[in-house]
Structure 1
Amino acid sequence: MSEQQPNDRLQCRWVKPLVAGAGPRYVQIADLIGDAIRTGELSHGDQVPPQRILATALGVDLTTVTRAYGEARDRGLIASFSGRGSFVTSTEETAGEVRIDLSMNIPAQPSERSIANLALAAMEEVFKRQGDRRLSAYDTGDSNLSAIQAGQAWLRPAIGDLANGNLVMSAGTQAAIYAALQSTSQKGESVLCEPLTYPGFLLATRKLGLNAVTVKVDEHGATPESIEEMHRTTNAKVIYLNPTLQNPTTRTMPEKRRSDIANTLLKLKMTLIEDDPYWFLLNDAPPPLVTFTKGARTYYMASLSKCLWPTLRTSFVLMPVGEENNSFLESLRSSGMGGSPLLYGLTEHWIRTGVARQIVLEVQGEARARQTLARSILPKNACSHPSGLHTWLALPSNWNRQVFADTLEQRGIIVATSDAFSAEENPENGVRISMGGAASQSDLAHALQQISSLLMEDRRRTRTIV
């Protein structure tokens, strides 16, 4: 360790020499911080040394310490504030805990086998069948006819013969939503949505300069009367809806409501963007909205990353029936020239061989097991579906959602607050808990118990670090 001034030595009293060959130095430094917290040498609220002082003390360059502090922040050990420095946010009891990220809404992977290994085994067949030349080409979304035919077979249980229509593929639903908005709306126009909705949709509206305007909802979701009222008020031509296992509230719109909304949209000549990533996870899901509009003025989007495998960022998009869709296709291509031919090839292979259906069944089983676990631990007001990927938890009045999430993060648990989903200035006071983020059911049980215990505490005031 390098020569230090007395005050510097005091700040670095917990620091120990790094060990050559014991792993990356930035990881060792983050480990030192965690060890110091566990031994009580650093306590909650203590300031850790400025990066230059610690770099001098350890004889490393500044970038190594910068990276180490980033690693410590990722572990929930410290928090950094501009102009003030970095402070310990963890405690002796929580410093050794593994962070469990329940903020990303991904499908829980089956415990019995590795989907990654299934993918590796399938890749050889994909290369044999399609060849290196085809897999190296750009895919424009509508050029891979064999994959599109597989997609038609995949969607037929949900939308019937409509699947034979104008189907294309997209590198995930986010790109398709952006393309649909860009091709149907002009800057400054309004687009209707529910008060809490998919963050990717909200991001797209902001980037395109569109106004996301909310409609009223009840226990079944958006109401036809409110859609008609807001159409008259704002002259909105487009609405975005996620009617099955709505993200984040978990609502599933019943069949009668879907029929009524479809009739309203057809009467108003409005365009519908239907985002339907969870339909295949529900055995009792009502028919998609597109079946009631008969495909007219409707973009129907079905992602595979939510019901199969997060890495499979592939979405089938049914474009409006009886319309010229060049504008949408141009927007889709401008965002990245389609998706990966390799992923499209894997998608096609899994659908044609029946592997995709089998994975869905296994994901369903794992999701049910995790939701059963959640219902045994979380309070009764938590909203979920027995085979859904997430749970919506409305917080009691004594908890501010951001303070609740920040406190959980100190304890190694990450959830998503309603702010990320809100199209309004004052969102509901709640959090979304995604069941697939935990590596195992035991990790999930630990995280849910932390959440349940925290709900019993009273944190009316905003937490500060001094």
Structure 2
Amino acid sequence: MPLAEESKKTAQAQWIRPFKAKGGARYIQIADMIAESIQSGSLQAGDQVPPQRTLAAELGVDLTTVTRAYAEARNRGLIASYGGRGSFVMGASAPGAQARIDLTMNIPPQPANGSMAERVGKGLEEVLRRQRIEALSTYQDEPGTRSAVQAGQAWLQPALGDLDLRGLSVCAGSQAAIFAILSSTTRPGDSVLCDPLTYPGLLLAARQLGLRVVAVEGDADGMRPDALERAQQQSGARLLYLNPTFNNPTAQTMPAGRRAQIAATLLRLQLTLIEDDPYRYLLDDAPAPIATLTGGANTYYLASLSKCLWPSLRTSFVLPPRDDDGDRLHAGLRAASMGCSGLLLGLVEHWIRSGTAKALVEEIQREARARQQLARSLLSHEVQTHPSGLHLWLPLPAHWNQSLFTHALDEVGVNVAGADSFSVSAQAQDAVRVSLGGAADQASLGLALRKIEALLKEDRRRNSRAFV
């Protein structure tokens, strides 16, 4: 072999390290080596990784292990393989690379150990083993739902404590629950109160139903009780929506003291609260839900599994207000859908009862923490977030507005959500939400964050030409 070619092959393999004794499956460790080397810069977009046989010999493993490792790396978007040419690191300059990174959707990251597909496969296998396919092929039925609800009661009990959970229901996602609650408790023209920046699904549902959305002023602790009372008196609203734990999009978490004030205010005003709580299980330090402070009175409590486990579950638990028989809620849910998928409900129940759900939350927490740490290391600007949260809220420097910034990011292959997507008012602040779970892996997230950081430092006012 010519010296130059041998030197090239040696350089290609500089990222290889010994296997860890308890680092998991070796093919996963190889894929992790590639990801970490891309993140550190040891491997660059367009670099060729060693041929499979060469790497197998270098690492002392069989060819099948490396084949699985490269397949895993391709699935993560780390490399692309071309027949007759080999495998190359993905990126803007890689052959056939798909450089676009979508950070608009607020989804949990895949566990770094690549266990999600295996967990889903094993879980569904167990569901099919325990239940007849005929039972899973019908629309939602009472026995199957009742069993899943019992599992949900066990899942929610640590958060909801002594609340009576006998009225708990399950539905196909919190968006369906929000729409059902709004449609069953309001009429066109009624007002709904919420934070100035709030969940887009609420805005969509309210506007679809012809409701008036009224923003209530807040401060660093969240919605202000005095502003809530004033807004209620001026609007006549009977319904309040809050996402007090790791707010989407601002990442604020309302402290316990403010929650107690809000609870007292809504009980005094006889307001009904929709407490949307999808991120609680990702945060170890979340205060008690407002529902526990109202004793369940005047409060719908929503707990989605899409943000803490897996979006494809499309499952949310809903606890109606105390002394509410839930008939209006169920009628609204029936009008919106024919219930949950029996197969997915079976998977949810199995994961909760077997402890898989708890273990999966812990894995997602670890990956979320790693991604938040990566963001802190790469972004020099002030952000609002939580160490294990799924997103960060990035107020823009004075020389950027959100429209120009999101457009400029789109031009370099990165998508984020602008503040106008969450704003009740037509005039939104200049900020963006960056969803860290949207990237396929930490390597692509690092690439996206570097592009964001570079753009933040660029002043388009100085670079633009004057037109007369």
TM-score (norm 2): 0.77
Aligned residues: 374
Shift of 1:141: 8.0
Cα deviation for residue 124 of structure 1 reads: 1.6
Equivalent AA in structure 2 for residue 301 of structure 1: L
**1:370 match:** 371
C-alpha displacement at 1:330, in angstroms?
0.5
SS in 1 for 2:300: strand
Check 1:384–1:150 CA distance in 2 against 1; reply closer, same or farther (3 A cut): same
1:109 corresponds in structure 2 to 110
Supply the AA of the counterpart residue of 1:183.
S
Determine the C-alpha separation between the residues in 2 that align with 1:403 and 1:286: 37
RMSD after superposition: 2.0
3-state SS in 1 of match to 2:132: helix
Q: Deviations over 1:14-55 (max 9, x none)?
A: xxxxxxxxxxxxxxxxxxxxxxxxxxxxxxxxxxxxxxxxxx
In the aligned structure 2, how far is the partner of 1:168 from the partner of 1:400?
A: 43
| Aligned 8 A contact 2:368 2:390 in 1 | yes
Corresponding residue number in structure 1 for 2:22: none
What residue in structure 2 maps to residue 326 of structure 1?
Answer: 327
Structure-2 change in CA distance of 1:307 and 1:301 (3 Å): same
Offset of residue 337 of structure 1? 1.2
1:208 to 2:209 alignment: yes
Structure 1 residues 231, 463: closer, same or farther in 2, change over 3 A? farther
Q: Pairwise mapping of residues 71-150 of structure 1 onto structure 2 (< 5 A)?
A: 98-139=99-140, 144-150=145-151
Is it true that 1:423 corresponds to 2:424 in the alignment? yes
1:439 aligned counterpart, secondary structure: coil
2:265 equivalent to 1:264: yes
Decide whether aligned partners of structure 1 residues 311 and 142 sit closer, same or farther in structure 2, where only a CA change above 3 A counts.
same
In the TM superposition, what are the counterparts of 1:189-204 in structure 2 within 5 Å?
189-204=190-205
Partner of 2:306: 305
Tell me: CA distance 1:191–1:143, structure 2 relative to 1, closer, same or farther (3 Å): farther
Distance 2:143 2:389 in 1: 31
Q: Residues 104 and 435 of structure 2 are in contact (CA less than 8 Å); yes or no, is this contact kept in structure 1?
A: yes
Q: Secondary structure at the match of 2:131?
A: helix
Deviating more after overlay: 157-166 vs 367-376: 157-166
SS in 2 for 1:322: coil
Residue matched to 2:360: 359
Aligned residue identity for 1:315: S
Q: Secondary structure at the match of 1:212?
A: strand
Q: 2:192 & 2:168 partners in 1: Cα distance?
A: 24
The CA distance in 2 between the partners of 1:95 and 1:463, in whole Å, is: 32
Given the alignment of the two structures, is residue 275 of structure 1 paired with residue 279 of structure 2, yes or no? no
User: 2:144·2:342 contact (CA, 8 Å) conserved in 1?
Assistant: no
8 Å contact from structure 1 (residues 400, 460) kept in 2: no
- One-letter amino acid of the counterpart of residue 252, structure 1: T
**Does the Cα contact within 8 Å between 1:155 and 1:163 map onto a contact in 2?**
no
What letter is aligned with 1:226?
A: A
Letter in 1 for 2:162: D
Q: Percent identity?
A: 52
The gaps in structure 2 that reach 5 residues or longer are 1-91
Partners of 1:165 and 1:229 in 2: how far apart?
Answer: 35
CA distance in 1, matches of 2:296, 2:110: 33
Equivalent position of 2:347 in the other structure: 346
Q: 1:217 to 1:462 in 2, by over 3 A?
A: farther
Partner of 2:454: 453
Equivalent residue number for residue 248 of structure 1: 249
Q: Which residue of 2 aligns with 1:170?
A: 171
Closer, same or farther: CA 436–323 of 1 in aligned 2, 3 Å: same
Structure 1: give runs of 5+ residues left out of the alignment: 1-90
Q: Tell me the distance in 1 between the aligned counterparts of 2:151 and 2:321.
A: 20
User: 1:256 is paired with a residue of what secondary structure?
Assistant: helix
User: CA 1:332–1:399 in 2, change beyond 3 Å: closer, same or farther?
Assistant: same
Residues 217-228 of structure 1 mapped to structure 2, 5 A cutoff: 217-228=218-229
The residue type paired with residue 226 of structure 2 is: E
What is the Cα deviation at residue 312 of structure 1?
Answer: 1.4
**Residue type of the partner of 2:389?**
G
Q: Distance in 2 between matches of 1:329 and 1:141?
A: 13
Amino acid at match of 1:306: K
Conservation of the 8 A alpha-carbon contact between 2:383 and 2:395: yes
How many Å separate the matches in 2 of 1:407 and 1:93? 22
2:160 aligned partner: 159
Give the SS at the match of 2:169: strand
Q: Within 2, Cα distance between the matches of 1:202 and 1:428?
A: 17
| Offset, 1:230 | 0.5
Task: Tell me, in whole angstroms, the C-alpha distance in 1 between the residues paired with 2:376 and 2:122.
Answer: 36
Change (3 A) 1:354 1:223: same
8 A contact 2:165–2:319 mirrored in 1: no
SS class of match (1:161): coil
Aligned counterpart, 2:286: 285
Report deviation, 1:285: 0.6
Letter in 1 for 2:221: H
How far apart, in 2, do the equivalents of 1:229 and 1:142 lie? Answer: 46
351-360 or 155-164, which deviates more: 155-164
TM-score by length of 1: 0.77
